[in-house]
Amino acid sequence: MQHNVNWLQALLVLSLSVTLGWTVEVQRPRGVPLTKRQFYDEAKPFTCLDGSRTIPFDRVNDDYCDCKDGSDEPGTAACPNGSFHCTNAGYRPTFIPSSRINDGICDCCDGTDEYNSGASCQNTCKELGRKEREALQKLAEITKEGFLLKQQLIEEAKKGQQEKQSRLSELQDSRKGHEDKVEALRTVKETAEQPEKEAKERHLKAWEEHKAALRLEKEKAKMAEVFLELDDNADGFVDVSELQTHQELDPDGDGTLTDTEAQGLLGGAHKVDSTEFMNMWSNMKEKYVSEVCPPTPSSDLDKDPDSVYPEDDLDEDAAGEDDEDDDDDDDRDDDDDKVISPLQVLEKLSVCERERWCLLCNAALLPFSFRALEKEISFDFGPSSEFAYLYSQCYELTTNEYIYRLCPFNRVSQKPKYGGSETSLGSWGSWSGPEDNKYSVMKYEHGMGCWQGPNRSTTVKLTCGKETAVVSTSEPSRCEYLMEFTTPAVCLEPPNIDTQVHDEF
């Protein structure tokens, strides 16, 4: 009968612990940790560790559970609540539930849990120990370097903070003056738009017609403007050479607008008059860049809620651009939210050459950049602002199907690798690590909704690393995403590293 396996042999196990080349023999019943050895004295009756009962010592490890706490069967699976101690010399000692003794699966790296199951377990403790030491060493190195980087980040953040503060006060000062000017402009604009508004209020249909008419008018006006702009020699014709001043119209994107290409844009003619040009315009208008400052500021004014009528925003310029944000280039992608850094504002402004930078632009954008700056300063960038460097940055990870994008303190998104629209996986919510480690987890919430499910959200786990990078993404639960993100900013000061794995002795 297999259960009757020489329990005496089973009882006394020779535990080998190799430390510093010494061999130590410690006799104790199977499955008992050294710390509890004194309770198992074979010369005396055994008292269950909970004190509930005393039994003859030969009932210890006899494969029948006598103690409610399982303490009489540390080396067998007889008690439902028992635990078995693996010495695991060379690695870490551990306890496993009694139910894993002789279940045919090697649980202890020293294989001692499978002494009567037929499973042949290799002793893998040394190998595991070596690997663990290596891993710890590597981790220690990363932590060390990461922590140095963190110190720099903190320094930079301090400087940055000061700069921002002073910039903020500057802006505050100039804000008032600009506001007055903007107010004046707004009045002018509103007066100009008064008929439009009245039309709207009269009737939607009429308004739609009016809108179409307006659009056509605007289109015509714009085209006329362009025609004049292009017709450098003012001969009432736009010709190939005149068109060639606008290299951005190059249809094949090789950077040169050749004679043939230009002629193609003009419908095969060498030159066209304004009427003919009207037919050609549609081929060009997507690409055409005006030589004058684009009317960005007035667009911003158009966004004034007062001028918005039934849902759709008419003005093709700014509003149109806004709607198409998803298709825009990366560097424009960042500015579709209210959160916009002053730097980005400046970048945007550089589209318009500095000398053409008009008052209007400035006036309109100023409050905007002011708010953004104010917001940035108000963020919780960690105890020493070590996370400030992540602000306004974005990090991507490409998987088999998707490109994931994390813009810390802003948003998380997912975009199919091979075309398709971007999905928001959440906007910045809060730091949400455990109380003692708040800055280890970021939460992004209120992403796009799921069918029969919640709005998408993302948890970002921060781990110490030299690089700042998204290292993995997953969706552990439907529409709840998990990102792992490495950054030096969470690297802790390395302790005086003793890489020795703790051995039981």
Partner 1 sequence: MSCLLAVWLAVVLSGIQAVDRSNFKTCIQSSFCKRMRDVVPGHSPYRALLETLELSNTRLTLQLINDNNKVRLLLELYRLQGNMTRLKINELKPLRPRFEVPDVLIADPPTEPLSLVSQDEGGVVLSLGADARHLVVSARPFRLDIVEGPHVLLSVNSRGLLAFEHQRPRKDTLSKISSTVGSMWDTIKNIFSSSSENDSEEVEAEEDAEDQNYEKEEDQADMWEETFKSHTDSKPNGPTAISMDFSLPGVEHVYGIPEHAENLRLKTTDGHDPYRLYNLDVFQYELYNPMALYGSVPVLLSHSTQRTMGIFWLNAAETWVDISSKAAENTDSVQAPSKVAQTDVRWISESGIIDVFIMLGPKPTDVFAQYASLTGTQSFPPLFALGYHQCRWNYKDQEDVRSVDQGFDDHDIPYDFIWLDIEHADGKRYFTWDPAHFSQPREMLQGLVDKRRKMVAIVDPHIKVDSGYRVHKEIRSKNLYVKNKDGGDYEGWCWPGTSGYPDFTNPEMRSWWASMFAYDQYEGSMENLYIWNDMNEPSVFNGPEVTMHKDALHGSWEHRDIHNLYGLYVQMATADGLIQRSGGVERPFVLARAFFAGSQRYGAVWTGDNAAEWSHLKISIPMCLSLGLVGISFCGADVGGFFKSPSSELLVRWYQTGAYQPFFRAHAHLDTPRREPWLFGPENTALIREAVRQRYALLPYWYLLFYKAHGTGQPVMRPLWVEYPEDVTTFTIDDEYLLGRDLLVHPVTDEGSKEVTVYLPGTGGVWYDAFTFQRHEGGQNLYVPVTMSSIPVFQRGGSIIPRKNRIRRSSSCMEKDPYTLYVALSPQGTAEGELYIDDGHTFNYEQKKQFVHRRFIFADSTLSSSNISPDSQFSTASWVERVLILGAHKPSSVTLKTSGGSVASLEFDFDEATSVLTVHKPGVNAGADWTLLFQW
Where does this chain bind partner 1 (CB under 8 A)? 1-4, 62, 64, 77-78, 80, 97, 99-100, 102-105, 117, 400-401, 450-454, 474-480
Let me know: does 340 contact 409? Beta carbons within 8 Å.
Answer: no
* Smallest gap from residue 486 Cβ to partner 1 (A): 19
What b-and-e string marks burial along 331-357, b requiring 16 or more CB atoms within 10 Å of the CB? eebbbbeebbbbebbeebbeeeeeeee
Q: How far is the CB of 401 from partner 1 (least distance, A)?
A: 7
Nearer to partner 1, 76 or 410 (CB): 76
Please identify, using beta-carbon distances, which residue of 177 and 449 lies nearer to partner 1: 449
For the bound state, the minimum distance from the C-beta of residue 31 to partner 1, rounded and expressed in Å, comes to 15
* CB 441, min distance to partner 1, A: 18
Smallest distance, Å, CB 132 to partner 1? 18
DSSP alpha helix (H) spans, 111-258 = 125-202, 204-230, 240-243
CB of 131 to partner 1, least distance (A): 18
Q: Where are any strands of DSSP class E within 337-421?
A: 395-398, 402-407, 411-416
CB 315 within 8 A of CB 302: yes
CB of residue 280 to partner 1, shortest distance in Å: 42
Query: Which strands make up the sheet holding 395-398, listed edge to edge?
Result: 395-398, 402-407, 411-416, 423-431, 441-445, 457-464, 480-487, 469-477
| Residue with Cβ nearer partner 1 (104 or 195) | 104
* Minimum gap (Å) between residue 139 Cβ and partner 1: 21
Residue 7 or 227 having the CB closest to partner 1: 7
436: Cβ contacts below 8 Å, ≥ 6 apart: none
- For residue 291, give both structure tokens: 């030589």
Q: Distance between CA atoms of 402 and 414, rounded to whole angstroms? A: 6
Residue closer to partner 1 (CB basis): 105 or 192 = 105
Looking at beta carbons only, is 117 or 274 nearer to partner 1? 117
Dihedral (CA of 369, 374, 379, 381) sign: positive
Question: Whole-number minimum distance, CB 113 to partner 1, in Å?
Answer: 12
How many Cβ atoms are within 10 Å of 224's Cβ, its own excluded? 13
Q: Where are the beta strands (DSSP E) in 359-422?
A: 395-398, 402-407, 411-416
Task: Name which of 183, 144, 426 is nearest 301 in CA terms.
Answer: 183
The minimum distance between CB 91 and partner 1, in angstroms, equals: 18
CA distance 90 to 122: 14
Estimate to the nearest angstrom the gap between the alpha carbon of 219 and the chain centroid. 42
> Which residue number, 103 or 322, has a Cβ lying nearer to partner 1?
103
Measured CA to CA in angstroms, residue 504 lies from 19, 85, 93 at distances of 9, 11, 7
Residue bearing tokens 């039934």: 310
Residue in this structure with the two tokens 């060493």, named with its chain if needed: 137
The nearer residue to partner 1, 4 or 275, going by C-beta atoms, is 4
Taking the least distance from each CB to partner 1, the nearer of 104 and 420 is 104
Nearer to partner 1, 112 or 296 (CB): 112
| Burial per residue of 92-121, b for 16 or more beta-carbon CB atoms within 10 angstroms, e otherwise | ebbebbbebbbbeebbbbbbbbbbebeeeb
C-beta of 83 vs 296, nearer to partner 1: 83
Q: At closest approach, how far in Å is the CB of 14 from partner 1?
A: 25
In angstroms, the CA 321 to CA 181 distance is 26
Structure tokens at 199: 């039309």
- Pick 11 or 388: Cβ nearer partner 1: 11
CB of 278 to partner 1, least distance (A): 43
| Tokens (6 digits) for 288 | 């055409």
